[in-house]
Amino acid sequence: MRESDMTHEVFSYSDWANGVVLEAAAGLSDGQLDEPFDMSVGTLRRILLHILNGEEVWLKRWQGEAETPWPGEAAKTGVADMADRFRACWQKRDAFLESLDDADMGRRLTYRDSKGALFSATLGEMVLQMAIHSAHHRAQAVNMIRRVGGPGLEMDYMAHVRKPAEG
């Protein structure tokens, strides 16, 4: 599998998994979304915003915007609004990735992190960071959903790709 095909597959899975989490979260009350937890950024609503902010900020960094302040996560943003923003981000991300060739992944970019420090990384490393960041915090979101009484979610990659065998 070519690097660009693998990148496409990683984000296809990530988008599907984020969609599963958002769908489960959409069925929860504000009280459940805002129940405090002693993990990550503190509530399910905030962790969903954190995942979204990560995807939006990393995309801007990929596009050469070195100054990308991290947005706040205290707003009572609704799950439907977040889902709309996710979809818009995914469309922009896919269009950006489609414009690249494999050699572009080695290009070094500079960016300022959420604490204000200046760093550099290759575009490929930054692309991988977006996927890993979302997966890490998505696992926390799944745990929070379960703990507030929401459904158990099947998030395994194979649940995304497997098909019944013919035979």
Whichever domain contains 157, its CATH number is 1.20.120.450
Domain for residue 56, yes or no?
yes
Whether 167 maps to a domain, the answer reads no
Length of the chain: 167
Q: For 48-81, what is each residue's pLDDT tens digit? A: 999 999 999 999 999 999 998 888 888 899 999 9
How many structural domains are present in the chain? 1
CA distances from 161 to 9, 12, 106, 158, 164 (A): 10, 10, 29, 5, 10
Which domain range does residue 76 map to? Answer: 3-161
166 falls within a domain = no
State the CB neighbour count (10 A cutoff) for residue 13.
19
Distance CA 119, CA 121 (A): 7
pTM of the predicted model, to two decimals?
0.93
Specify if 92 maps to a domain.
Answer: yes
4 pLDDT more than 80:
no
131 in a domain, yes or no?
A: yes
Kindly tell me if the per-residue pLDDT of 160 is higher than 90: no
Closest CA to 60 of 113, 11, 132, 133: 113
Higher pLDDT, 72 or 110: 110
Which residue's structure tokens are 């690097």?
Answer: 3
Average pLDDT of the segment spanning 80-102 = 96
Chain Cα centroid distance, residue 71: 15
